[in-house]
Structure 1
C-alpha cells in the first residue's frame, strides 16, 4: 500500500484591512470634547478660588459630616460628572481607532504585534506597565509599517503630556473626592489649573498624533488597494 502524501497546511489568511479615517475622526472629535470639558473644569476651579470658601468651611466637614453645597459647588459637581462621562466616551473612541491601526499594521507588515491583544486594554490600567505599553502599541503599529521612518515626534509629546496629566492624581485621575477638590480650589488652585492645562494639551497632541499616524497609514492602505484593483 503506497504511502499517502501529507497535505501541506493551509496558510492562515492575512487579516483584512480596515478603514481608519472614520474612527480617526470620531476619536479627534471626542478628544476635542474632552479638552472642552477640562477647560470647563478649569473655569470652575478659577470661579471657586475667586469666590472664596464660605464661612461655614469646606463641603466635607470631617467625621462624615457634610454641609449643604452652595449653588457654585453644586454646579461644579455637574461639570465634573459631565467631564467624567466625556472622558469615558473619549477613551472608547481612542481605543477603537487604535484597534484598527494595530490590525492594519499587522496586515500590511505581515508581522505579529509585539504586545498581545489584551494589552490594548489592560495596558492602560495596570500600574507600572501603563507607563510604557500604550505608547509601545502606538509606536509599534507605526514602525511595523514604516520601519525606515523615524517615529513622529508628536507621539512622544502626546505620551509625555499624558504621563504628566496622570502624575500625582491631580489631573486625569483625582485621588480626592469632588468635595475635596473643591476645598483644594479654595485654598490652592494653581496646581489644579496647571493639571487642567496639561490635560488639555495632552488631548490636543493626541488629536494631532491620530491625524499624523492615520494619514501615513491611509496612504499605505490606498497603495495596497491600487495593487489589488
Structure 2
C-alpha cells in the first residue's frame, strides 16, 4: 500500500508595490531638477548684477564680507535645492529597492548585485560609476527578459556620470560663496553644469516611469486575478 501525503503547495512570491513609489521617485527627480533651474536663474541674476565693489564674499584667509540681499537669497535657493536633492535621493532609493526585489522574485534567480549595493552603489568610489545603472538594468531585464533596456536609462546615467566626473552642479565640492564668485567672473560654465543636472533629472524621471510601467504589467501577469496575497494594492 502506497501512503499518500499532501504536499503543501509552493507559496507564490510576494511582490512589492511599485506604482506609487515610482511616481514619487519620478516626482522627486523633477523637483530636484526644478531646484537646479532656480539656482541657474539666480546665477544669471548674480552675473547681471556684477560683483560688488567690496569683492567676492570669500575674501580669503578666512575673511568673509557681509552678503548683500541677492547673495543671501542665492544661499536660500541653494539650501532649498539641497533639501530637494536629499528628498529625491530617499525616494529614488526606496523605488530602486522595490524594483530590485521584484526583479529577483520574478526571475527566480539571484540578482547580479546584492541588495546592499542599492545603498552602497552610490557612495563607493569607482563602483558608483556603474553599479546603480547596473541595478536598474538588471531589474529591468529580470522583469522583461529579451527586451532592450530603455534609452532613457542610458541617457540618465550618462548625464549623471558626466556630472560626477567633471565635478559640476550638484557634485561640485565648492562652497556657496565660491559659486557666487564664479557667477560674477564667468557664469557660462555654471549654466552648462546646471543643464547637465537638469537633463539628468528629467531623463531619470522618464526612466523611472518607463521601468515602473514595464514591471507593473509583468507583476499583474505574475500575480494573476485571484492572488490578493502576492499582489499588494496599488501595484
* TM-score over 0.5 for the pair: yes
- 1:7-38 CA-to-partner distances (Å, cap 9, x unmatched) read xxx99966510111000111111112111100
1:144 aligns with 2:162: no
| 1:30 alignment counterpart | 28
Q: Provide the residue aligned with 1:53 in structure 2.
A: 51
- Which of the numbers 114, 122, 133 marks the counterpart of 2:112? 114
Q: How many aligned positions are there?
A: 220
Shift of 1:225: 2.1
Partners of 1:180 and 1:168 in 2: CA distance? 17
Which consecutive unaligned segments of at least 5 residues does structure 1 have?
1-9
The normalised TM-score by structure 1 is 0.92
Q: Distance in 1 between matches of 2:180 and 2:11?
A: 56
Structure 1 partner of 2:213: 215
1:47-86 map, 5 Å: 47-86=45-84
Q: Secondary structure at the match of 1:195?
A: helix
Whole-Å separation in 2 of the counterparts to 1:195 and 1:30: 20
- RMSD between aligned alpha carbons? 1.7
How do 1:113-132 and structure 2 match up within 5 A? 113-132=111-130
CA contact (8 A) 2:159 2:196 kept: yes
Cα distance, 1:167 vs. partner?
2.9
d(CA) in 1 for partners of 2:142 and 2:153? 15
CA offset digits 1:46-92 (Å, max 9, x no partner): 00001000011000000110100010000000100111111000000
- Tell me the distance in 1 between the aligned counterparts of 2:37 and 2:52: 24
CA contact (8 A) 1:14 1:110 kept: no
Q: Of the candidates 183, 188, 196, which is equivalent to residue 181 of structure 2?
A: 183
Contact 2:144–2:218 (Cα < 8 Å) also in 1:
no
SS at match of 1:17: coil
Is structure 2 residue 191 aligned with structure 1 residue 193? yes
Contact kept? 1:15, 1:106, Cα under 8 Å: no
**Stretches of structure 2 lacking an aligned partner (at least 5 in a row):** 1-7, 228-235
Q: Calculate the TM-score normalised by the size of structure 2.
A: 0.89
Any idea what SS the aligned residue of 2:224 has?
helix
Checking the alignment, whether the CA contact within 8 Å between 1:15 and 1:103 is kept in structure 2 is no
1:147 deviation in Å? 2.0
Greater CA drift, 84-93 or 114-123? 114-123
